[in-house]
Structure 1
Amino acid sequence: MQPEKKLFTFDEIKQKLVNYCVYQDRCHSEVEQKMREFVLIPEAKDEILLYLMKENYLNEERFTRSYIRGKFNIKHWGKNKIKMHLKQKGITEKLINKSFDEIDDEDYLKIIRKIYENHFSKQKGLQVYQKKSKTIKYLLSRGFEYENILQVIDN
């Protein structure tokens, strides 16, 4: 049995969703997910979504750019991992690729080098080739491209 949903007026729900979008950039799927918490008819959902987009509370491109910056600068994710997570949120491939200019190529390689050196030096009791192999696997799991990893290692 589902817990009973609290009933709000249309304006209260609209304000709650505005606050939800103001707090942090959101994508359409996150807002739609949030809307499921409320009892709304489809027309009301559409009207709220239109309002949020018209008033620029909901902007897919701004969300995508902010998401890319955050995941790269704070969590040090690679482009593959970021792209996969954005696709799961329903962002188009075209918008994702267009927004990757938020990441500077030089900074990207610096982060790979920093993570590589850090992870490589932490491994004890292994042959150099084993350390290298484990570190490459680690970087791949963080979403970095194999070509870029090799480029960093070779320099």
Structure 2
Amino acid sequence: MSGWRKNKPSSSPKKTWTLEEAKEKLSSYCAYQERCAWEVRRKLYEKKISGEKAEELIEYLITEKFLDEERYAKAFARGKFRLKKWGRNRIKLELKMRQISEELIRKGLSEIDPEEYYDTLLCETEKKWEKTTEADLFKKRYKVVGYLMQKGFEQDLVQEALASIQSQ
């Protein structure tokens, strides 16, 4: 047991940033990947920066075009749909959680091509149907529907996709 060490406090607590450091670090943070004001506020909170100073920094990022919530909503919707195969409901919920306005959520969701959306739903439905090992068809259908709903696809489209693959 001699190799185990007790949890010893780190020698330097999380250092807070000066205003200039914060501008530099946040500019890099936002340039690396699209961010929204909510994510930046969380980052600032970790660094113990809040209130007027945080709002001033966010204003700076918006002015300098590092932060743009419409651009963020569009990129988020495209990315989560194409990479994680999320449905519109899940994307909408996640954007709401990040305090994105209804109007910007609509703009973000408009980035998803309806045909590509339905094709993705069909593909996900087929994959899940094949993977689900359940003898009782009713239970199998229930599991597949549950999975697709969790991914954020609309119930009417899920039913349509299931009917489509079952008729093949």
Q: TM-score, normalised by structure 1?
A: 0.90
Match of 2:147 among 134, 138, 151: 138
Task: Tell me the amino acid that sits aligned with residue 106 of structure 1.
Answer: E
1:50 equivalent to 2:74? Answer no
**2:93 alignment counterpart:** 84
Pick from 145, 149, 161 the counterpart of residue 152 of structure 1: 161
Greater C-alpha Rg:
2
Which consecutive residues of structure 2, in runs of 5 or more, have no partner in the other structure?
1-11
**1:90-113: CA deviation from partner (whole Å, max 9, x where unpaired):** 111221012211111111111111
Give the CA deviation at 1:40: 4.0
Summarize deviations over 1:37-86 as a string: whole Å, max 9, x none. 33546333232111100111000001111111111000001111111111
CA distance in 2, matches of 1:108, 1:10: 44
**Which residue among 95, 111, 116 is the counterpart of 1:102?**
111
Aligned equivalent of 1:124, options 133, 138, 142: 133
Q: Which has the higher contact order (CA 8 A, sep 6+)?
A: 1
- Cα shift readout 1:103-134 (whole Å, capped 9, x = no counterpart): 11111111111111111111234133332222
Question: Greater shift after overlay, 129-138 or 14-23?
Answer: 129-138
Aligned residues of 2:80 and 2:91 also touching (Cα < 8 A): yes
- Aligned-residue identity in percent: 37
Matched, 1:23 2:23: no
| Superposition CA RMSD, Å | 1.8
What is the TM-score normalised by the length of structure 2? 0.83
- 1:62-77 to structure 2, matched below 5 A, reads 62-77=71-86
How many equivalent pairs are there?
Answer: 153
